[in-house]
Amino acid sequence: MVAEIMPPITTVASGRCTFRHQIDLIVMGAYGHSRIRQFFVGSHTRNMVSHSKVPILLLR
Number of domains in the chain: 1
Question: Quick check: is 5 in a domain?
Answer: no
- The pLDDT value recorded for residue 12 is 77
Question: Quick check: is 33 in a domain?
Answer: yes
- The pLDDT value recorded for residue 16 is 82
Mean pLDDT calculated for residue range 8-29: 82
Which distant-in-sequence residues (6+ apart) come within 8 Å of 58 by Cβ?
A: 28, 29, 30, 45, 49
pLDDT in tens, 22-47: 889 988 877 655 565 555 556 777 88
Question: Quick check: is 35 in a domain?
Answer: yes
Question: Quick check: is 46 in a domain?
Answer: yes
- The pLDDT value recorded for residue 54 is 92
Q: Are strands 26-29 and 56-59 parallel, antiparallel or unpaired?
A: parallel
Domain range for 55: 24-59
Question: Quick check: is 10 in a domain?
Answer: no
Question: Quick check: is 34 in a domain?
Answer: yes
pTM: 0.66
Question: Quick check: is 14 in a domain?
Answer: no
Question: Quick check: is 42 in a domain?
Answer: yes
Which distant-in-sequence residues (6+ apart) come within 8 Å of 8 by Cβ?
A: 44
Averaged confidence pLDDT in the chain: 76
